Amino acid sequence: MALVGFASGSLIGAAFFDLIPEAAETGQAIWIYIVAGILFFFVMEKFLYWRHCHDENCQVHNFAYLNLIGDGIHNFVDGMLIAASFLVSTSLGLTTSLAVVFHEIPQELGDFGILLYGGLGKKKALTYNFLSAITAVAGALLTYLLVESSKAQILAELLVPFAAGGFIYIAATDLMPELHKRTQAKESLVQMVTLLAGIVLMFILGVVLPPH
């Protein structure tokens, strides 16, 4: 349950201290895409519930699948960012890559905790988390192919707030309600501490030590 608290804080922190500020720099109507992300993940969860949990108990909670989708989109954008940086210069590319790696470590730990709590075994959770991370390669390749046009930048500008909406939805509607299932004082204190730890850590990485 401590990992769920940390994961909730990490997703909230990533959305509000990293993705939304980054999207705001583009000058786009980002709130439309944030709301679109929330609605998309709501519809996806409804579909997953109907598909996997209809008239039976779920072996894997839907939020585990939703988190994989949201994290995959986020990693895809990171891949685009890294590729764009390398196209400018090798030194900038290396610097950006290291910044993204250090920035992603706490969030990936939280993602792993979500998958475990969602009902996946350790081996399957690691495999799925790895597959989600590979989307960064796809983002990098797409950016390289679209380097002569503005399409890559436009796509990134759309996906960043969209992913933020997904993270907010997962944290607020799936993970936090799970925390409320434990009501003992000691467990509640651990939840609060780990939730705040996730938020503070993402604040430090996103605001104090921004990756971009």
Q: How far is CA 138 from CA 12, 22, 111, 162, in A?
A: 25, 21, 20, 18
Rounded CA gap, 202 and 204, in Å? 5
pLDDT of residue 55: 47
Task: Output the pLDDT for position 16.
Answer: 93
Residue 195: which region, alpha, beta or left (left: phi > 0; alpha: psi -120 to 50)? alpha
Q: What's the burial of 77, exposed, middle or buried (CB within 10 Å: 0-12/13-18/19+)?
A: buried
How buried is 103 (Cβ within 10 angstroms: 0-12 exposed, 13-18 middle, 19+ buried)? buried
pLDDT band at residue 136 using 50, 70 and 90 as cut-offs:
very high
Kindly compute the dihedral angle of the four CA atoms of residues 180, 42, 47, 124, in this order, to the nearest 10 degrees: -60
Residue 145 — pLDDT band, cuts 50, 70, 90?
confident
Question: Is the pLDDT assigned to residue 110 strictly greater than 90?
Answer: no
Nearest partner of 9 among 168, 153, 145, judged by Cα: 168
pLDDT at 22 over 80: yes
Whole-angstrom Cα distance, residue 148 to residue 97? 22
Please report the pLDDT score of residue 197 as a whole number: 92
Question: For 36-62, how does the pLDDT look when each residue is reduced to its tens digit (9 = 90+)?
Answer: 999 999 988 887 766 555 545 566 677
pLDDT tens per residue, range 153-203 = 777 788 889 999 999 998 998 889 888 887 888 888 999 999 999 999 889
> Sign of dihedral through CA atoms 181, 184, 185, 191?
negative
Q: What is the mean pLDDT of residues 15-27?
A: 86
Is the distance from CB of 201 to CB of 5 less than 8 angstroms?
A: no
Within 53-150, residue ranges assigned H as helices are 62-88, 90-117, 122-133, 135-145
Give yes or no for residue 90 having a pLDDT over 70. yes
Q: Please give the model's pTM, rounded to 2 decimal places.
A: 0.78
Is the pLDDT confidence value at 82 over 50?
yes
Give me the number of domains the chain comprises: 1
Mean pLDDT for 2-10 is: 85
How confident is the prediction for the chain on average, in pLDDT?
A: 83
Classified as helix, coil or strand, 33 is: helix
Domain housing 170:
2-52+59-208
Is 149's pLDDT higher than 80? Answer: no
Nearest-angstrom CA–CA distance, 28 and 39:
19
What integer pLDDT is reported at residue 196 of this predicted model? 94
The per-residue pLDDT for 26 is: 77
